[in-house]
Amino acid sequence: MSEQPDNRWATDAYPDEYKSDIDKSLAFTGLDVDVFTRGKADSIVDLLDRWHPSGAAGAECLDIGCGIGTLHPFLRGRVGSLAGADIAADAIDTARALNPGIDYRVYEGRRLPYEDATFDFCSTACVMHHVPPPQWPDFVAEAWRVTRPGGLFAVYEHNPLNPMTRLVVCRCPFDHDAVLLRARRVLELMRGQGFEPVVRQYLFFVPVDAGWARRVDRLLGWLPIGAQYVVCGRRPA
């Protein structure tokens, strides 16, 4: 891989108040970050049940850029196995303390610490906007490398077309250098690597933590105004 700008999370201390900082930036909505984390976990299970032969219960999963593992309590017991990798060593220490039994590893931001074709499902949740844009193709290439043929790679991101999302990002201290990317750009990156897109869905249309709100997401998922989105591609078998 070519020499590119470093990701600041490789050297900066991971925020001690990560969750509370996000909750503060969301305060005007009346929601907290767990609403979005739980919604993404439900989406992951749905993607696997719909698009992978093993279904969620049999899938070996990797969370790229897992941070302190906030997603994992909502996935534990619903997928076959869980692993997480992050470039912030202090975040990985916290993740291990919070979620015993999950395989967490530190990596330097270039090559994931796993063998080729290790996982049925790789995902990254609101991470790519922290990756320097010149590194985006390499980031997707690493996901390709560790995903098995027939496996899935899902990118969850903030939707820059939603003004409320842009306001939340602006209010969040550790997002000061975030570069939001549209779903169309993620699709381009996936296709450029060889992934076959299977899903592009916008999420979190209704600021309510309820099952019916997620059903609204499924009905309106084509409409590019949800607060976040998921793009999912399959590595051809």
DSSP string, 48-73: HHHH-TTTGGG-EEEEET-TT-TTGG
- Structural domain contains residue 223: yes
Residue 3 lies in a domain: no
Residue 16 binned pLDDT confidence (cut-offs 50, 70, 90): low
Instruction: Output b/e per residue, 179-214; b: 16+ Cβ within 10 A.
Output: ebbebebbbebbeebebeebbbbbbbbeeeeeeeeb
Assigned domain for 106 exists:
yes
Pick the closest to residue 136 from 9, 5, 230, 47 (CA basis): 5
pLDDT band at 211 (very low <50, low <70, confident <90, very high): confident
**What pLDDT score does 17 carry?**
58
CA pair distance 156, 67, nearest whole angstrom: 14
Q: Classify 121 as helix, strand or coil.
A: strand
pLDDT digits (tens, 9 = 90+) for 29-53: 556 678 889 999 999 999 999 999 9
How far apart, in Å, are the Cα atoms of 199 and each of 47, 65, 66, 114?
A: 8, 21, 22, 26
Task: Tell whether 2 is covered by a domain.
Answer: no
Where residue 221 sits, what CATH number does that domain have?
3.40.50.150
| Closest C-alpha among 125, 148, 144 to residue 204 | 125
CB-based contact 152:120 (threshold 8 Å)? yes
CA distance 75 to 145: 23
Sign of CA dihedral 52, 64, 81, 113: positive
Residue 30: left (phi > 0), alpha (psi -120 to 50), or beta? Answer: left
The span from the CA of 225 to the CA of 160, in Å, is: 9
Report residue 158: phi and psi, to 5°.
-65, 145
How many domains does the structure of the chain reveal? Answer: 1
Residue 216 pLDDT class (50, 70, 90 cuts):
confident
Tokens of 126: 């609101």
pLDDT tens per residue, range 132-178: 999 999 999 999 999 999 999 999 999 999 998 888 888 777 787 89
Residue 130 has pLDDT above 70, yes or no: yes
Boundaries of domain holding 51: 8-234
Residue 86 lies in a domain: yes
